[in-house]
Amino acid sequence: MSEITVYHYDAFASTPGKGNPAGVVFGADHLSESEMQLIAHNVGFNETVFVLGSDTADLRLRYYTPGHEINLCGHATMASLFGLKTRGMLNGKTSVVIETNVGNLPIRFEQDGETLRMEMKQDQPRFLPFNGDMDRLAASMGLRASDIDPTAPIVYGSTGTWTLLIPIRSLEAFDRMRPDSQLFPDILLENPKSSLHPFCMEAHDLSAFMHARHFSSPYSGTVEDPVTGTASGVMGAYYLTYVQPGQSHAEFTVEQGQEIGRDGRVGVKAQKTAQGMEIYIHGTAVFVRELVIQY
């Protein structure tokens, strides 16, 4: 049995214990896919990210849940790039390009006083209709169908990772949510491995524009993602596509994690272009501790 050091960072927060925890493995080129999967399983976070060399970009990132590899993860990207930058592993660069399973994506660093922020470009947004049973969908989250807002569509959305975007009428419903993820695949007939992302246009924090929770697919081996980068990013595209289709630009903050004590913030920027739409998220991270993991 081997051992490896995994660096625990909390992303989309500047205080340990808040935001979304991610495991980061630097210099992971020697690891096989099965070893990466085993390490991620043993870490147990929603995602563990492995930093590798790249022939087409400054570095390559591979993302694993405890159950499987995923194509893109916003909070693990923030965690790994924060770690690389603060540990002096990027030779003073103010921007880099990362290779991911959805293509090469630019990352930009910005120093705001003592706070280091990262801006991440995401993949082109895609949407698919949801034609499932709303009563069963609501019940799988511990809600009633009347809690779902009928004025906005329920759709699958992706800027690198698929999730079902579910508009909720009011903020108070989020405290009542009790997800049963084992029910998800039979309800999500068009995309059985999708996660659920209920959101509303109210927030606890006056500086936030949206509130959300994120319930993991049962295949991932986790239940809830505290603060979600890719799902927040696709919300920018959702807003310009379904809520305010006459607008060409949106910039706002999404709050997430309050119900489970992991309060965090994701900055979102969406811009319509001749080629489609550009989606960016930004945030910060904080180092928590080193973990020695056996695999």
Burial 125-154 (b: 16+ CB within 10 A, else e): bebeebebebeebbbbbebeeebbbeebbb
Cβ–Cβ under 8 Å, residues 266 and 254? yes
Token duo for residue 11: 């992303």
| Residue ranges, the chain, pLDDT below 50 | none
Percentage of the residues of the chain whose pLDDT score is greater than 70: 100
Integer angstrom CA distances of residue 73 from 2, 63, 159, 233, 250: 26, 7, 10, 11, 22
Catalytic residues: 47
Predicted local distance difference test score (pLDDT) of residue 7: 98
How many degrees, rounded to 5, is the angle at CA 17 between CA 260 and CA 293? 105
Q: Give the pLDDT confidence of 178-217 residue by residue, as tens digits.
A: 999 999 999 999 999 999 999 999 999 999 999 999 999 9
Residues in CB range of 188: below 8 A, 6 or more apart: 130, 132, 156, 164, 194
Token duo for residue 221: 């081996």
Q: What is the DSSP letter of 282?
A: E
- Cα 161 to Cα 70: distance, rounded to the nearest angstrom: 7
Predicted local distance difference test score (pLDDT) of residue 226: 96
Predicted local distance difference test score (pLDDT) of residue 112: 85
Residue identified by tokens 């979304």 is 20
Q: What is the DSSP letter of 289?
A: E
Burial of 273 (0-12, 13-18, 19+ CB in 10 A): exposed
